[in-house]
Amino acid sequence: MKKITQSILEKVIRKRPANSYKGTYGKIALIGGSQNFGGAIIMASLAAVYSGAGLVTTMTDPTNQTSLHDWLPEAMFVDYHDSQAASPIISAADVVVIGPGLGTDNQALTILTKTFELAHKNQTLVIDGSALTLVAQNHLTLPQDSLNVLTPHQMEWQRVSGIKIADQTPEANQAAANKLNALVVVKSHRTQVYYQDSVYENTGGTPAQATGGMGDTLAGMVGGFTAQFADQPKAVLAAVFAHSAIADKLAHKQYVVLPHQISEALPKFMKKNQSV
Ligand SMILES: NC(=O)C1=CN([C@@H]2O[C@H](COP(=O)(O)OP(=O)(O)OC[C@H]3O[C@@H](n4cnc5c(N)ncnc54)[C@H](O)[C@@H]3O)[C@@H](O)[C@H]2O)[C@@H](O)CC1
Ligand SMILES: Nc1ncnc2c1ncn2[C@@H]1O[C@H](COP(=O)(O)OP(=O)(O)O)[C@@H](O)[C@H]1O
Ligand SMILES: [Mg+2]
């Protein structure tokens, strides 16, 4: 098993070319946030914007619009019930993050299946939270043409793969990830990443991260990194490492690290760890 260490950051985070503009850094659509879980998609959107994604659109329940803009005026808003408005933006996105706080009712299932229908080649789909539970409950097939990045915690991975948490060995997980033809980030206190023949284990992370919204933030970061950096598997590894490394640093002086604090630390962290 390979270790994910500090060295992944310089390999991925590049110095920004002088003649670049927002279009250089990718378009992301983030879909989620039911009436009760609005915070999840706001935290994911914060992470996407603070990791440097060029254009971010948040598709959520309209009850979340004011809080979204209060936290993040940089994000555009679309009502996720409005399929006519949402579909062209989803189609045009380089990266779609779906699931944080989406919920698992019929309306959430409709939004997820529509997003799967729209997914296409040259698009990365980050499937997190409720979207993973919906995939498992409804035996959905993942889209064939997009690069599918799954970010389950161990219980979500149990639902999707059928492997009980106690039996989630690297061999079993790798076989299941390959069967899904997906890049899978199995989150725990030492997160593991499965992609094709490779298994990676993160070397960072702290129990100060054990708080709701921490995974929503990682999903947004994976979206932000894959939107900007060409090598998609490496971008995922860098997002996983950066998420835990920032938390480890904050945890020197904090009992608990709040998810939005990780996002707020990202611009300085990325500047410090970019390649020269
Ligand atoms: N502020 C918000 O709006 C929040 C919304 N959230 C959303 O709520 C939805 C449900 O997600 P949840 O994960 O809370 O609920 P789930 O029911 O999907 O998973 C939680 C269950 O998994 C078990 N579990 C086993 N191993 C675990 C591990 N390593 N990490 C985490 N749980 C493990 C827990 O004991 C618990 O029974 C998701 O869409 C999520 O994005 C959560 O992120 C919490 C914060
Ligand atoms: N004890 C821990 N040590 C290291 N990382 C942790 C620990 N507890 C939680 N995390 C990290 O926090 C995140 C939790 O994700 P998730 O359970 O999906 O949260 P949520 O859905 O509430 O946002 C994962 O990235 C996980 O690796
Ligand atoms: Mg989660």
* DSSP code of residue 204: -
Which is the closest atom of ligand 1 to the Cα of 32? Answer: 39
Ligand nearest to the CA of 209: 2
For position 133, what pLDDT does the model report?
A: 98
- Give the closest residue (by CA) to ligand 1 atom 15: 129
Q: What is the pLDDT of residue 110?
A: 98
Q: Look at residue 276 in the predicted model and tell me its pLDDT.
A: 82
Nearest ligand for residue 221 CA: 2
223 CB near ligand 2 (under 6 Å): no
Candidate from 37, 104, 134, 159 with most ligand 1 atoms within 8 A of CB, to mutate: 37
- Give CA separation, 153 vs 31, 68, 133, 181, 259, in Å: 19, 25, 11, 18, 16
Residue 273 identity: N
Q: What tokens does 200 get? A: 């990676």
Q: Look at the pTM and tell me if it is higher than 0.95.
A: yes
Angle (CA) 171-97-163 rounded to 5° is 25
Going through 70-140 in order, the beta strands assigned E by DSSP cover 76-79, 95-98, 124-128
Task: Give the pLDDT confidence of 107-150 residue by residue, as tens digits.
Answer: 999 999 999 999 999 999 999 999 999 999 999 999 999 999 99
What's the ipTM?
0.99
| Residue 58 predicted with pLDDT over 90 | yes
Residues that constitute the known binding site: 40, 101, 153, 187-191, 215-216
Using a 6 Å cutoff on CB, does residue 212 contact ligand 1? yes
Task: Give pLDDT tens digits for 229-269.
Answer: 999 999 999 999 999 999 999 999 999 999 999 999 999 99
- Which residue range is the domain that position 113 belongs to? 2-272
Residue 77 has pLDDT above 90, yes or no: yes
Q: Are strands 192-195 and 183-186 parallel, antiparallel or unpaired?
A: antiparallel
Express as a percent the part of the chain with pLDDT over 70: 100
Report residue 74's pLDDT band, with 50, 70 and 90 as the boundaries.
very high
pLDDT exceeds 90 at position 64: yes
The 10 Å Cβ neighbour count of residue 82 is: 11
Return the number of other C-beta atoms located less than 10 Å from residue 127's C-beta.
30
**CA pair distance 259, 220, nearest whole angstrom:** 11
Single-letter amino acid code for the residue at 76: M
Residues 135/168, Cβ–Cβ less than 8 Å:
no
pLDDT digits (tens, 9 = 90+) for 11-52: 999 999 999 999 999 999 999 999 999 999 999 999 999 999
pLDDT at 85: 98
| Count of structural domains, the chain | 1
**C-alpha 150 to ligand 3 mean position (Å):** 11
Measuring from atom 44 of ligand 1, which residue has the nearest CA? 212
Residue matched to tokens 């991260």: 209
On average, the pLDDT of the chain sits at: 98
Give the pLDDT confidence of 190-211 residue by residue, as tens digits. 999 999 999 999 999 999 999 9
CATH number at residue 138: 3.40.1190.20
Closest atom of ligand 2 to CA, residue 217: 23
Q: How far apart are CA 151 and CA 186, in angstroms?
A: 6
